[in-house]
Structure 1
Amino acid sequence: MSINPSLIEEIRAASRTMVRELGFMKPTLAGTRYSPSAVHALLEIDMHGAMPAAQLVQALGLEKSSVSRMAGKLIEAGEIEETAALDDGRFKQLALTAQGKRTIAEIHAHGQQQVISALKRLNPEQQSLVAQGMGFYAGALKQRHLQSDETSGNTIEIHTGYRPGLVGRIAQMHADFYSRHWDFGQFFESKVAAGAAEFMGRLHQPVNQIWSAIQNGRIVGSIAIDGQDLGSNEAHLRWFILDDGCRGTGVGRQLLANAIAFCDEHNFSATQLWTFKGLDAARRLYESFGFELTWEDTGSQWGYPVTEQRFTRKPT
């Protein structure tokens, strides 16, 4: 589709003016002492509620290290704090403090006044046109960004079957996540590694399969279906894990969809998975695929007391 070059330049000029007039060229934003990225971090937490740092990375489109440093400064300033997830005290999230809520109220008031001051200079029809046009343009920019991610070198591809390094990466990703959030140690990592290694020797069996998510040649996620170890024609969903930076991108849903399709293809009487109470995002994903909680109990076999859960999916 051909676009008038003069229209493009008008939009670019207007964008530059907005960036300057709204204060994005300054070191601080919205009447605060914080950078634009920090202000947007506070706004995201306010909008979505307490969230893990990995989710904030995805929302802001920044590097994990940059968000980590920024979050540290906001914690030090008393604007946000690390809180425990409702279902488990060891799963950490970022939430606004009382001070942070007051700061957010000031940010909103500042932004609203900027908009009101500008709109007063327009008639009602122009005001509606501005709101509608900006909405369309912002949506188009976001769509362009998402499509660019899909076609860039950061594209995540799903690979079926064994690939070199898979056992080690499964163990590492589990160890990284569960040591950080659940204080699991060497015993857990060794158990994961031994189980994955044993399973790889059975991949030639048609009822067993594994999938990995690959980004720039690196394994960043995994899931497996073990159709042998439970017996009774039941499938065991195992080693479902993602790198922190991949959470919230939809790759977990892709992996799970592959696994569920495999189970349906092989007509298992049920698919079982074991997890821990407190992983709320994962639970919502499981339930969206038809899994239901069928058992839970507290134990300390992993070196730390946890509430283990079993979810079951029956074929539709």
Structure 2
Amino acid sequence: MKTITSKIRSFNRFYTSHLDILSQHYLDSDYSLTEVRILYEISESENITAQKITEILNLDKGYVSRILKHFLKENIIVKVASQEDKRAINIELSNSGKELLNSLNLKVEKQIENQIEKLNFFEKENLLNSMLTVKDLLSQSKPVRSDISYRHEIKPGDIGYIIYLHGFIYGNESNFSSDFEKYVIKTFYNFLENYSPENDRIWIAEYNNKIVGCIAIQHQAETEAQLRWFLLDPSFRGLGIGKKLLTDAVDFCKDKKFKNVFLLTTSLQDKALQMYKMAGFELTESTEVKEWGKTFNEERYDLKLG
């Protein structure tokens, strides 16, 4: 069996070969991939120095210096005195440099279009999300709040994916058996069969068009509603997503004039329980049960709104 290191190396070999970036001349131009990458960094920054380029691309200072001298000779770049620091020299693209980079950008966009033209919508989304995942993991960058989008309309595939998330997360974190997933399926069937756009709602948090969190309100009687399926991908905890989802759900209940909101959970969900209590929910019932391969207390929490 291949180790993770050998698998990554295999991917790297495929990727560099597939994109044809090993040749000395990038996209049949007179420039290497590194040289074009430097031009791109110059175009993306209003104030950039040779030192900054070496830091961004992690390149040898002397190597970068030689490339920039070549660019100057070719009239691709110009040096401009910094307005903020007279001792610093910024680098900018000349008109010829802008035309060169623009032509290369058009070529690479066409190359990518040709590579993905046979992929269907799902395959393109899968490819994009996989690339973003690789980027995030290897750069060790964490999503920020502004990267998260929210919606409450139900799209095809949403419910199925949320059911999958329940099975996967609870199976790994709480060690629940597959019977728990069956239970979730039944509860969603009941929700969809009796769904009322006026009194029911599900909120979804997304990152790069992928569901990472959810919560729902299902009406139970004229003055009572149930909070359900409060879930968050562990990789996205700590960003305030759960707090926003819970707040939106409670505010919805207030707008709809529900007098009581209740939820059913287990004593194993420590993080969720803390959030429920902070939102004003109080424990009203607790019964020990053996279910889904575990022994725990099934608990009911209520929030009085009127």
Q: State TM-score, norm by structure 1.
A: 0.51
The answer to whether structure 1 residue 245 and structure 2 residue 240 are counterparts is no
Q: Separation in 2 of the partners of 1:234 and 1:63? A: 42
Query: Quick one: structure 1 residues 169 and 244, their matched pair in 2 at CA, closer, same or farther if it must change by over 3 Å?
Result: same
The answer to whether structure 1 residue 5 and structure 2 residue 87 are counterparts is no
Query: Quick one: structure 1 residues 244 and 150, their matched pair in 2 at CA, closer, same or farther if it must change by over 3 Å?
Result: closer
Q: Return the match for 1:209 from 201, 223, 227.
A: 201
Q: Separation in 2 of the partners of 1:242 and 1:234? A: 25
Q: Which deviations, in whole Å up to 9, do the C-alpha atoms of 1:260-312 show, x marking residues without a partner?
A: 01110111121101111132221221122111112212101333211121111
Q: Contact 2:254 / 2:305 at 8 angstroms: preserved in 1?
A: yes
Q: Separation in 2 of the partners of 1:64 and 1:252? A: 22
Q: Which deviations, in whole Å up to 9, do the C-alpha atoms of 1:30-68 show, x marking residues without a partner?
A: xxxxxxxxxxxxxxxxxxxxxxxxxxxxxxxx966998x
Query: Quick one: structure 1 residues 191 and 64, their matched pair in 2 at CA, closer, same or farther if it must change by over 3 Å?
Result: farther
Q: Contact 1:170 / 1:193 at 8 angstroms: preserved in 2?
A: no
Q: Separation in 1 of the partners of 2:268 and 2:87? A: 49
Paired letter, 2:258:
F
Map 1:23-172; keep pairs closer than 5 Å: 149-151=144-146, 155-172=147-164
Residue in structure 2 matched with residue 276 of structure 1 by the alignment: 266
Residue in structure 2 matched with residue 193 of structure 1 by the alignment: 185
Q: State TM-score, norm by structure 2.
A: 0.52
Q: Contact 1:64 / 1:245 at 8 angstroms: preserved in 2?
A: no
Q: Contact 2:227 / 2:262 at 8 angstroms: preserved in 1?
A: yes
The answer to whether structure 1 residue 257 and structure 2 residue 247 are counterparts is yes
Question: Any stretches of 5+ residues in structure 1 without a counterpart?
Answer: 10-61, 68-144
Q: Which deviations, in whole Å up to 9, do the C-alpha atoms of 1:227-286 show, x marking residues without a partner?
A: 02xx36211000110111111111111111111011101111211011111322212211
The answer to whether structure 1 residue 296 and structure 2 residue 286 are counterparts is yes
Q: Contact 2:288 / 2:297 at 8 angstroms: preserved in 1?
A: yes
Q: Contact 2:174 / 2:268 at 8 angstroms: preserved in 1?
A: no
Q: CA deviation at 1:205?
A: 4.5
Paired letter, 2:192:
M
Q: Separation in 1 of the partners of 2:276 and 2:87? A: 45
Residue in structure 1 matched with residue 214 of structure 2 by the alignment: 222
Q: Contact 1:167 / 1:197 at 8 angstroms: preserved in 2?
A: no
3-state secondary structure, aligned to 1:264 = helix
Question: Any stretches of 5+ residues in structure 2 without a counterpart?
Answer: 1-81, 89-134
Residue in structure 2 matched with residue 37 of structure 1 by the alignment: none
Q: Contact 1:202 / 1:208 at 8 angstroms: preserved in 2?
A: no
Q: Separation in 1 of the partners of 2:230 and 2:252? A: 15
Q: Separation in 2 of the partners of 1:313 and 1:8? A: 64
Q: Separation in 1 of the partners of 2:239 and 2:176? A: 26
Percent identity, please.
Answer: 32
Q: Contact 2:171 / 2:178 at 8 angstroms: preserved in 1?
A: no
Q: Contact 2:264 / 2:299 at 8 angstroms: preserved in 1?
A: yes
3-state secondary structure, aligned to 1:6 = coil
**Highest Rg: 1 or 2?**
2
Q: Return the match for 1:175 from 158, 167, 179.
A: 167
Q: CA deviation at 1:161?
A: 2.6
Query: Quick one: structure 1 residues 232 and 301, their matched pair in 2 at CA, closer, same or farther if it must change by over 3 Å?
Result: farther
Q: Which deviations, in whole Å up to 9, do the C-alpha atoms of 1:123-160 show, x marking residues without a partner?
A: xxxxxxxxxxxxxxxxxxxxxx99x9355xxx111111
Considering Cα pairs closer than 8 Å and 6+ residues apart, tell me whether 1 or 2 has the greater RCO: 1
